[in-house]
A and B are shown apart, each in its own frame.
Chain A
Amino acid sequence: MWLSKSSVGRKVVMSVTGLFLILFVTFHVLMNAVAIISPSGYNAVCHFLGANWYALAGTLVLAAGFVIHIILSIIITLQNKKARGNDAYDVNKRPKNVEWASQNMLALGIIVVCFIVVHLIQFWYRMQWQELNGTEFGEINPANGVAFLDLAFSQWYTLVIYLIGFAALWFHMTHGFWSAFQSLGTNNNTWMPRLRCTATIWATIVCILFAVEGVVFTLRANCPECKAAQECVNANCGDAEPCTTVENCNAECK
């Protein structure tokens, strides 16, 4: 298969999976925004993305995208190390116009993967996985996304890990975005500056939104009033689907 056998083909696979992951990340950041605007809406999204066939199919496709992108990146890096040879330059300077990110994509990717592992443990394992198993994590309904946000972000280190992950993601995306179009052959002198500019803007919007969301969740998780409200929601809903929202819970409690 030319997609795996030729260097150009391998880069095509990296590009297609990379662009797919950019779309996913963009979807994810918008989904998180729902949790800020409307916690009940967010729980509805969590419910929708639970252990249904369509959500599971989506998860599998997504996981395949990640796995292919990661494994191929490791193979490509090893091949490139070999092509480079054993003797390193004594003095080697990065030329102007060469992005730092472009020469450190693997390291940035590894940071992002570490972050994703923490993230999966904090959310996916406690939500979709538990629902699949028919179990519950800490007696919280798997669809009660807001409760899991509070649980994860009540720890100070969560925000720190997330911010590091977002910073790495920003660098990774600024290069990955235009590079994907270059590898697919859909680039030229006119489009190069446009793509690079779009890459920076897109990555900046996504990562800033992620960071803002992280900060808001941390503030929420650590404010006693919000906590009381959340406990109130949990109490009112019991095992059933979350029926009450944080906003109207206090009213109902009273």
Chain B
Amino acid sequence: MDKNISFKLKVWRQAGPKEKGNFETYEMQDIPGDTSFLEMLDILNEQLVDKGEEPIVFDHDCREGICGMCSLYVNGHPHGPATGATTCQLYMRRFNDGDTITVEPWRSAAFPVIKDLMVDRNAFDKIQQAGGYISFNCGGAQDANAIPISKVDADEAMDAAACIGCGACVAACKNGSAMLFVSAKVSQFAVLPQGKIEAVKRVKAMVRKMDELGFGNCTNTGACAAECPKNISLNNIARLNREFICAKFKD
């Protein structure tokens, strides 16, 4: 059985996008170690509501690490100190009795704060709309094995497709760069025959959109891959660069 812990929570509160934010400190008592981080915030919110105060706004949905909605910069790491896991899968047993836990929103110009810990990640949708898809005519689905694909390529594409679009890579990056996300979305198609057909158009459109939305220039610090909850590899960024440079040379 996990022990119960008591700790101080330092949370970023911001009333609205244009409002000035500040940290509020809350004392948390006797939280069981098997409480997830988001459940812990639920407990705090219930207490706040009981006291007639505004609950803390934060993003979440599936709470099982697959949707990419949860965010939070916990103690200097996006998705908290655990690696390869989202905030919804972060458990309080990772923390110690008497700790001060600092919770901040993603901070990046392209992800403005909506309220408290919730940020606007629409920029990612716009990049996806620019080319992160394969066009096909509807109709009866083809047999899955009609086009042979090597295991290596299938694995590479699958690993890239694991990206849940959470934005932790941008949050972790000192340059506010979205390269890891974009490279995952380009790579999941670029290595597959079905994706190759629109590869040139796709990579140019997505990089253009990414630059247009004000994401920074990648300087290969690797903080994104180190903090990514889905362990997306830097390999994909090299592939994105390669695809883009080749596409430009083809022009």
Contacts and interface: CB of A to CB of B under 8 A. Distances in A.
A13 to B, nearest CB: 11
A83 B241 CA distance: 20
A187 B217 contact: no
Contact of A185 (B77, B214, B245): B245
Nearest to B178: A83
Main secondary structure of the interface of B (DSSP, over half): mixed
B217 A93 contact: no
Interface in B203-248: 207-208, 210-211, 214-223, 226-227, 233-235, 237-246, 248
Contacts of A181: 238
Contact of B223 (A98, A105, A175): A98
B73 interface: yes
A95 B77 CA distance: 8
B108 interface: yes
B177 interface: yes
Contacts of B218: 7-8, 11, 183
B241 A183 contact: yes
Interface stretch (B33-41, B61-69, B168-176): B168-176
A179 B217 contact: no
Nearest to A73: B219
Given A8-B241, A185-B243, A98 B107 contact: no
A179 B226 contact: no
Interface stretch (A84-92, A120-128, A152-160, A221-229): A84-92
A178 to B, nearest CB: 8
B117 interface: no
B214 A82 contact: yes
A94 B244 CA distance: 29
Contacts of B244: 6, 8, 185
A254 interface: no
Contact of A188 (B107, B214, B235): B235
A243 B108 CA distance: 64
A187 to B, nearest CB: 4
A91 B238 contact: no
A185 B239 contact: yes
Nearest to B220: A179
B15 to A, nearest CB: 15
A250 to B, nearest CB: 54
Contacts of B109: 82-86
B220 A88 contact: no
B73 A89 contact: yes
Contacts of B222: 97-99, 102
B83 to A, nearest CB: 8
A189 B214 contact: no
A2 B192 CA distance: 26
Nearest to A5: B211
Nearest to B73: A89
Contacts of A98: 221-223, 226
A133 interface: no
Contacts of B242: 184-186
Nearest to B238: A187
Interface in B184-215: 207-208, 210-211, 214-215
Given A84-B108, A84-B175, A102-B220, 7 more contacts: A2-B248, A7-B210, A8-B218, A11-B217, A91-B75, A103-B174, A188-B239
A-B interface, 10 closest residue pairs, ranked by CB to CB distance from nearest: A185-B242, A83-B216, A83-B176, A93-B76, A95-B226, A80-B175, A185-B241, A85-B109, A80-B216, A187-B238
